[in-house]
Amino acid sequence: MHTVSLHEAKANLDQLLTQALAGETIYIDDDNGPVYTISCVGTHKGVRFGLLKDELGDISDIEAALAAPLPAEVLAAFEAR
């Protein structure tokens, strides 16, 4: 945990974000004391394709449902003004 000025935070935001991703909390202050906090709320692990490959089995029913036209009442709801 450390404190930086608002000017320093503007100049070094990329470094401060890297520190926050590493688990550090950064306080940004102005003349009246700390007013902002930068911290990491979680990390993005990316998209993992194929996780359900063996779980879903035959997906032709899903593909057919996605290719089918929308029912008239659903289509009307989208077109309502």
Beta carbons within 10 angstroms of residue 26's beta carbon: 20
Distance (Å, whole) CA 22 – CA 13:
14
Distance (Å, whole) CA 40 – CA 43:
7
Q: Determine, yes or no, domain membership for 46.
A: no
Beta carbons within 10 angstroms of residue 21's beta carbon: 13
The CATH number assigned to the domain holding 32 equals 3.40.1620
Q: Determine, yes or no, domain membership for 47.
A: no
pLDDT tens-digit map of 5-58: 999 999 999 999 999 988 899 999 988 887 899 998 877 777 777 777 777 777
What is residue 69's DSSP assignment? P
Q: Determine, yes or no, domain membership for 26.
A: yes
User: Residue 26's pLDDT is what?
Assistant: 94
For residues 32 and 72, the model is more confident at: 72
Residue 20 in contact with residue 1, Cβ under 8 Å? no
Q: Determine, yes or no, domain membership for 43.
A: no
Q: Determine, yes or no, domain membership for 70.
A: no
Q: Determine, yes or no, domain membership for 45.
A: no
User: Residue 17's domain spans which residues?
Assistant: 2-38
The domain tally of the chain equals 1
